[in-house]
Structure 1
Amino acid sequence: MRVAVVIPWRPGTPERNAHHQYVQAHLRQLLPDAIHLDADSGHRQFSRAGSRNEGIRQAEAAGADIVVLCDADTLPEGEPLLAAIADTEDGVLHLPYSWYRGLSRDGTQAHLAGAPAADCPTDLAHEWATGGILVIRPDAWWRAGGMDERFEGWGFEDAAFRIASDALLGPTVRHAGAITHLWHPQESGLGSPQHVANGQLCQRYVDATGKPDDLRKVVAEHAHATA
């Protein structure tokens, strides 16, 4: 069983660059025998959806049976990550966490200085995150349609993929544990035309929740648009 760890990545701000190095080192420590890759789809504006698809392709080309897709600002815990990898042969999407911990700026500085993440101040913590880190087999990724590259900029692509995965692969499996998000300046573009368009596209996935035939139609549009 060959595992690839893929970070969707394009160099950016000093905070982002430092986080990438920290997360990369963390993942190499957790999974020293894995294939470690950075992936950039080359879109004019960095595309997390496109770069995840590109990362899956690179992992397949390298002979990986299982792929861990981890954002460059997100730290998983070892035990749930290993559990997710061990169980991924079932062909569904696995999330190696049940709790999202978004550290504040001060909390991130404290954690990078050596404080346990659980003891650091947060801006946001909740149970309903769907992104950050995904564990899946490449063939399952494509059966779910891959990630919709019509999502540009920030937001909604994770939720859409989760909806497609649940309907086309089977219910997503969560593993008890936490992921820690490192603070950086917001890039969400809330209220921008692109963010609104992303929300409208995601609503189409929401409207098709639990309806495999309807979701296949939405996924087919995405596949045609990116062919």
Structure 2
Amino acid sequence: MIPWRGGCPQREAALAWAARRWRSVGHEPVIGEAPPGPWCKAAAVAAGLPRGDAEVLIVTDADVWCDGIDAAVDAVHTGASWAIPHRDVRRLTEDATAAVLHGGELGGSLDQPAYRGVEGGGITVLRRDLYDVAPLDPRYRGWGQEDEAWALALRTLAGAPWRGAAPLWHLWHPPQRRDSRRWGSIASRTLYRRYQRAARSPGAMRALLADITEVTCDVA
């Protein structure tokens, strides 16, 4: 499941490369197109969900790859509620990304030092029924905190994830607009604080998720 919106040539090239990679290991990508208006990852995933009936979901960004995906899928099939195939994130430079897209080996110079990936971001593998209980929150618009909030919901309601050790490779594209590297917006930060407080109790987390009445990002 790839939440998506077109319009950026670099991201479109990354998606084409990643889609071929997914098919090469036996997974057919389902592209979930976000509706018009501010970007909403939850709405993009919701758009793609009716097009598949798999018991296990792989929710992945369009511009990443991890060779540990099979181990993560196996972990969920054999009992883990959710799984993260990667440990470190390795963001390639523009030149290194161009080399990969032109057929080179996956690797090369990094845009910044490798860092431990945020839970819920990059690639997340989980049971479909768990996603129904703890979905991405459509109240997040733009970029920032939607992945972290989702991970808090999953941890609170399903426990810690299985986690692999393979790197997550991130292909370069122009950065998305946001308030800062850490925070997407004031609204995103405020909602994330609610998730942090709700993470103290499964009941509180279920109540917070119950506030999600519909998965839409249409602007009134």
TM-score class, shorter:
0.7 to 0.9
Q: CA deviation at 1:215?
A: 0.8
Cα offset, 1:41, TM superposition: 3.9
Whichever structure has more helix as a proportion of its residues is 1
Contact 1:110 1:120 in 2 (8 A): no
Matched, 1:59 2:48: no
Distance 2:84 2:10 in 1: 26
CA apart distance, 1:124: 4.4
Cα 1:194–1:180 change in 2 (3 A) is: closer
Higher deviation after alignment, 122-131 or 108-117: 108-117
Work out the CA distance in 1 between the residues paired with 2:208 and 2:102: 45
2:122 matched to which residue of 1? 132
8 Å CA contact 2:14–2:171 kept in 1: the answer is yes
Which whole-Å CA distance do the structure 1 matches of 2:144 and 2:51 have between them? Answer: 24
Counterparts in 2 of 1:226 and 1:20: CA distance versus 1, 3 Å: closer
What amino acid is aligned across from residue 37 of structure 2 in structure 1? R
Partner SS state of residue 173, structure 2 = coil
Q: 2:198 aligns with which of 208, 213, 220?
A: 208
Structure 1 stretches of 5 or more lacking a match?
1-5
Q: Using the TM superposition, give the Cα deviation of residue 36 of structure 1 relative to its aligned residue in structure 2, in angstroms.
A: 2.7
Matched, 1:102 2:91: yes
Post-superposition Cα deviations, 1:118-169, rounded to whole Å, max 9, x if no partner, equal 432332421142201111111111122x110000011111100100001111
Q: Distance in 2 between matches of 1:35 and 1:115?
A: 23
Q: Distance in 2 between matches of 1:226 and 1:112?
A: 34
* Counterpart Cα distance in 1 of 2:214 and 2:108: 45
Percent identity of paired positions between Structure 1 and Structure 2: 28
- C-alpha displacement of 1:115: 4.3
> What is the number of equivalent residue pairs in this alignment?
212
> Which aligned pairs between 1:71-90 and structure 2 lie closer than 5 A?
71-77=61-67, 80-89=68-77, 90=79
Q: Distance in 2 between the 1:139 and 1:195 partners?
A: 30
Q: 2:140 aligned with 1:147, yes or no?
A: no
Runs (4+) off by over 4 Å = none
> Which residue identity does 1:44 align to in structure 2?
G
Q: If the length of structure 2 is used for normalisation, what is the TM-score?
A: 0.87
Gaps of 5+ in 2: none
Does residue 26 (structure 1) correspond to residue 26 (structure 2)? The answer is no
